[in-house]
Amino acid sequence: MPLYKTITPNSKTIVKIWKIEESFEALFQTVNLKPESVRRVLGMKSELHQCGFLSVRKLLAEFGYSDFDLFYDAFGKPHLKDGKQISITHSFNFAGVIVSDGSIGIDIEKQRDKIAVIAHKFIGYEAEYLHENDENYIKKLTAIWCVKEALYKLFATPFLSFKKHCLVIPVSDNETETVAWIDYENKKVRYHIQFLEFEGFTCAYAIP
């Protein structure tokens, strides 16, 4: 399938989402990969992960980049050779890439009940406004996880805790924007958050 969705949060930021409907073979034949990327994708045991990896390269092409323009630092954070900021995500049959002039982060997650089992590991301040009997409890947990994962990718700092250092301001039902903070040691940084839902998935991205 071609590009699923394009979002332009501001004049310097673009989000693109791909819905994976192609086979690994079909995707592999249409992307140009560095030798190390070929070794990496062929070494993956899951075709789902392989397709996620390749669909990200398809999204790079939508931005006018290729796998050769992408590299990772010591913390595993992706970078583009032209200096633009990039963040990458994939979950099941969706992949997303955000590119901007400023620091950004993105995450996509499938809405699943099992997230409630691990809520205690990433919910801190947010417990003040969450209620387990809320019919949208799973969706809200998923949104908060996505926001914190996006912040984690953006900040790229060892020992950053979802629970202790990332705070997500509550939003009303049907709202698609909020504010989140990273409060880490002597740093307090505020980020604008936008999110959306599609086909049982949640996507959140942090932008300047």
Per-residue pLDDT of 101-147, as tens digits, reads 999 999 999 999 999 999 999 999 999 999 999 999 999 999 999 99
- Does pLDDT of 157 surpass 60? yes
Angle at 192 between CA 180 and CA 175, to 5 degrees: 85
What pLDDT score was predicted for residue 1? 55
- Residue 208 makes CB contacts below 8 A (sequence gap 6+) with 13, 100, 101, 102, 103, 104, 191, 192
- Does pLDDT of 172 surpass 80? no
- Does pLDDT of 158 surpass 90? no
Residue at 131: amino acid letter:
H
Overall average pLDDT of the 95-100 stretch: 98
What pLDDT score was predicted for residue 109? 98
C-alpha 24/C-alpha 90 separation (Å) is 15
- Does pLDDT of 174 surpass 80? no
**Mean per-residue pLDDT over the chain, rounded:** 95
Is domain 3-102 classified as CATH 3.40.50.300? no
Overall average pLDDT of the 79-90 stretch: 97
Overall average pLDDT of the 147-156 stretch: 95
C-alpha 188/C-alpha 111 separation (Å) is 30
105-110/85-91 β-pairing? unpaired
CATH 3.90.470.20 domain range(s) in the chain: 3-102
φ/ψ (deg, to 5) at 163: -75, -45
Per-residue 3-state assignment (H helix, E strand, C coil) for 128-177:
HCCCCCCCCHHHHHHHHHHHHHHHHHHHCCCCCCHHHHEEECCCCCCCCE
Task: Express the helix, strand and coil content of the chain in percent, nearest 5 each.
Answer: 35, 35, 35
What pLDDT score was predicted for residue 173? 74
